[in-house]
């Protein structure tokens, strides 16, 4: 009996996975434990091993296909065994599943055409009520085009072949309505534009970018395919940036007292954990405690609802060679600096070794992104969805500040708080930031 290969559930909240690539072709032998395919979830790519030994009899989905968790994506069995022509469907709809990260700027959920190799269901292409010629039906059937979406120009609204062809032509290029308008206005052929949106969808700015004259390309320019983590980051960043209206507030905090605190705690923490306490941990702790006090910062937009998150899990953005990852420190508000230090360092280390598990990178309430090791003061961090706020931390630099009518030099740090203005307003965000500044300037408060 052929055994099914299932889209694995790689995280608690995972509902669909996108197949990045297969490592075996149909007909190739597979051993249990061999890597069979690579899957992208919202956060990370995972290489999935086969549970079975046998021949890969059938692959129902190819790269780029989005498959709901628990759906059959392939079969492994003996050579010659019969397997179904089409994957057994669990979901009621015939479509292979939609991604949750809808691009709301165009007002319609992103539609995934069935991956190559999956014929559209008969029902999709026509039903009994649509008037369409046999030729039109045949083409629609072959290309998985739902006839209901096509406007027919024949008698009594009958869909003719040319109508289906026109639809396919229009939709061959995936672009937002804004982008299409822009392209039309600029006289740009959408086929020449590279899309930066979901699955390569052309966004308006892509059209605008295409307007700029192309730089003369040197003969030795490197071309690297956008894939893997880079691709995920690209997608997630753009989704976040274009979904959530970001407002960034910044303030400067006097880190004199924090510096003192750190100096005194450094040897103790090192002795306890083996790691060196850094400013990051202090900022994380302070931010966590402020979050505890500011429930309005702990919100997440979920569809039509605003979820008030109870727990304070703080994510820490870690820069990697290939990109960026955000492991989460759970219950950061309840952990002491020693524990935080240990955890932060451990997570950072795991991150650099690509050993983070999906659970370690999900469930955050708030993210802290520290560029203080660079000559960066203020910046506008992008919110780590589904969170609603992120704290960008700049360098500590000696700056001239006014104090009691005098100009003094103090070690100042710039804090940049980006928040999602859909669910958080300026005042509460400002209040939070004010609190955070005060806590850093009076770190004894961390004890309360």
Partner 1 sequence: MREITYLEAVREAMTQIMRENPDVYIMGEDIGVYGGAFGVTRGMVEEFGPERVRDTPISEAALAGAAVGSALTGMRPIVEIQFSDFITIAADQLVNQAAKIRYMYGGKGKVPMVVRTPGGSGTGAAAQHSQSLEAWMAHIPGLKVVQPSTAYDAKGLLRAAVEDDNPVIFYEHKLLYRTKGHVPEEPYTIPLGQADIKRPGKDVTVVATSIMVHKALEAAKILEQEGIDAEVVDPRTLVPLDEETIVNSVKKTGRLVVVHEAVKRGGFGGEIASLVAESEAFDYLDAPIQRLGGLPVPIPCNPELERRVVPQVEDIVAAVKKTIVKR
Measured between alpha carbons, how far is 48 from 38 in angstroms, rounded to an integer? 6
Beta bridge partners of 249: 417
Minimum Å gap between C-beta 86 and partner 1 is 21
Nearest to 348 by CA among 414, 284, 416: 284
Minimum Å gap between C-beta 140 and partner 1 is 12
Helix 426-441 to helix 279-293 angle (10° resolution) is: 130
Closer residue to partner 1, CB minimum distance, 59 or 137: 137
Closer residue to partner 1, CB minimum distance, 29 or 157: 157
Q: How many CB atoms lie within 10 A of CB 446?
A: 17
Measured between alpha carbons, how far is 369 from 417 in angstroms, rounded to an integer? 10
Looking at residue 161, the DSSP 8-state letter turns out to be H
Minimum Å gap between C-beta 184 and partner 1 is 18
Q: Report the run of H or E that residue 328 belongs to, with start and end.
A: strand 328-329
DSSP string, 259-320: HHHHHHHHHHHHHHHSS---HHHHHHHHHHHHHHH-GGGSEEEETTEEEE--S--EEE-EE-
Closer residue to partner 1, CB minimum distance, 161 or 233: 161
Closer residue to partner 1, CB minimum distance, 21 or 138: 138
Minimum Å gap between C-beta 133 and partner 1 is 5
Measured between alpha carbons, how far is 83 from 89 in angstroms, rounded to an integer? 14
> Where does this chain bind partner 1 (CB under 8 A)?
133-138, 153-155, 158, 160-163, 166
Question: How far is CA 1 from its chain centroid?
Answer: 38
Burial 29-47 (b: 16+ CB within 10 A, else e): ebeeeeebbbbbbbbbbbe
Closer residue to partner 1, CB minimum distance, 156 or 225: 156
**Cβ(61)–Cβ(119) below 8 Å:** no
Minimum Å gap between C-beta 155 and partner 1 is 8
Q: Look up residue 140 and give its two tokens.
A: 């629609």
Measured between alpha carbons, how far is 402 from 198 in angstroms, rounded to an integer? 48
Minimum Å gap between C-beta 169 and partner 1 is 12
Measured between alpha carbons, how far is 200 from 172 in angstroms, rounded to an integer? 12
Closer residue to partner 1, CB minimum distance, 131 or 230: 131
> Is residue 199 among the annotated active site residues?
no
> Is residue 435 among the annotated active site residues?
no
171, 199, 311, 421: which one is catalytic?
421
Minimum Å gap between C-beta 120 and partner 1 is 16
Residue that is written with structure tokens 């096509």 in the block:
150
Minimum Å gap between C-beta 136 and partner 1 is 7
Residues of the chain by 3-state class (helix, strand, coil), percent to 5? 35, 25, 45
Beta bridge partners of 397: 412
Closer residue to partner 1, CB minimum distance, 24 or 160: 160
Closer residue to partner 1, CB minimum distance, 137 or 246: 137
Nearest to 180 by CA among 155, 148, 204: 204
Measured between alpha carbons, how far is 43 from 65 in angstroms, rounded to an integer? 17
Torsion of CA 384, 390, 391, 394, to 10 degrees: 40
Minimum Å gap between C-beta 167 and partner 1 is 11
90, 189, 359, 425: which one is catalytic?
425
Q: Which residues are catalytic?
A: 421, 425
């Amino acid at each position: 009996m052929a055994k099914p290969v299932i889209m694995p559930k790689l995280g608690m909240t995972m509902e669909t996975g996108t197949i990045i690539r297969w490592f075996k072709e149909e007909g190739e032998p597979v051993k249990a434990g061999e890597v069979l395919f690579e899957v992208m979830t919202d956060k990370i790519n995972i290489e999935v091993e086969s549970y079975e030994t046998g021949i890969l009899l059938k692959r129902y989905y190819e790269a780029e296909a989005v498959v709901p968790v628990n759906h059959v994506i392939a079969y492994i069995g003996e050579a010659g065994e019969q397997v179904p022509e089409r994957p057994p469907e669990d979901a009621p709809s015939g479509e292979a599943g939609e991604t949750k990260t809808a691009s709301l700027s165009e007002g319609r959920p992103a539609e995934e055409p069935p991956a190559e190799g999956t014929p559209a269901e008969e029902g999709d292409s026509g039903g009994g009520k649509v008037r369409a010629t046999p030729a039109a039906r045949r083409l629609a059937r072959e290309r998985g085009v739902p006839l209901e979406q096509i406007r027919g120009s024949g008698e009594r609204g009958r869909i003719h072949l040319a109508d289906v062809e026109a639809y396919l032509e229009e939709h061959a290029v995936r672009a937002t309505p804004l982008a299409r308008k822009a392209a039309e206005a600029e006289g740009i052929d959408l086929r020449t534009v590279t899309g930066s949106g979901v699955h390569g969808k052309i966004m308006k700015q892509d059209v605008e970018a295409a307007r700029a004259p192309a730089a003369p390309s040197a003969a030795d320019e490197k071309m690297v395919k956008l894939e893997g983590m880079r691709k995920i980051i690209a997608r997630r960043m753009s989704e976040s940036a274009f979904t959530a209206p970001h407002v960034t507030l910044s303030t400067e905090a006097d880190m004199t007292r924090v510096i003192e605190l750190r100096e005194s705690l450094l040897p103790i923490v090192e002795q306890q954990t083996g790691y060196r306490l850094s400013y990051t941990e202090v900022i994380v702790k302070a931010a966590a405690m402020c979050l505890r006090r500011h429930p309005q910062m702990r919100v997440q937009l979920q569809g039509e609802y605003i979820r008030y998150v109870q727990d304070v899990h703080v994510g820490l953005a870690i820069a990697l060679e290939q990109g960026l990852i955000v492991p989460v420190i759970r219950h950061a508000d309840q952990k002491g600096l020693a524990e935080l230090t240990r955890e932060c360092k451990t997570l950072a280390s795991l991150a650099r070794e690509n050993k983070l598990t999906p659970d370690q990178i999900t469930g955050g309430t708030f993210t802290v992104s520290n560029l203080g090791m660079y000559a960066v003061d203020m910046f506008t961090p992008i919110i780590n969805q589904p969170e609603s706020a992120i704290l960008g931390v700049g360098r500590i630099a000696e700056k001239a500040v006014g104090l009691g009518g005098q100009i003094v030099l103090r070690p100042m740090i710039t804090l940049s708080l980006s928040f999602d203005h859909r669910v958080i307003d300026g005042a509460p965000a400002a209040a939070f930031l004010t609190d955070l500044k005060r806590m850093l300037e009076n770190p004894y408060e961390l004890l309360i």
